[in-house]
Amino acid sequence: MLEKNFGKVVDDVLGGEDQPQSPPVHNIDIKIDVPTGFRLEGDSMGLAMLLAAISALSEVPIERGVAVTGAINHYGDVLAVDFVNKKIEGWFRICKQNGLTGEQGVIIPKGNEKDLNLGEEIIEAVRNQQFHVYAVQNVDQALEIVTDLPAEQVNERVRKALERDPENK
């Protein structure tokens, strides 16, 4: 069981850079059960976990065909991670086995663009818009990709959900 208090991250991301040192206003505990034998890579899950939390709080579903990797900081910046090529290749293989639809892809940190060294098959699929590699700098950019909505609209739904819940004040 991984346990992480996302209160500070959510407050900083929703509050913007105007209040980078503010104490958390919301107490949000996210608990994620990881199946036995599942290999974790630490900070690489940060962006995916935050997007899942935002989706749950906003009640806005996220696109299931888009894999996500990236570490995050308290300002909502997406930070580079290790093994980005292997992650893209692995997700591409799964998508190809299930049939490429043009809707699948992977979100990676913009800082990893320089590390990309993908095989010709993936490059061709991207070129033909059958698979996508999205490089993002911040959480809002990733949120817009996985929800197909403006980030501010989703973030406003999170704010309203937190205001309705007296446990999170």
Active site residues: 44, 87
Distance CA 11, CA 19 (A): 9
Q: Which three-class secondary structure state does DSSP give residue 125? A: helix
Distance CA 83, CA 48 (A): 16
**DSSP code of residue 137:** S
Q: Which three-class secondary structure state does DSSP give residue 129? A: coil
Residues in the chain: 169
Distance CA 53, CA 57 (A): 6
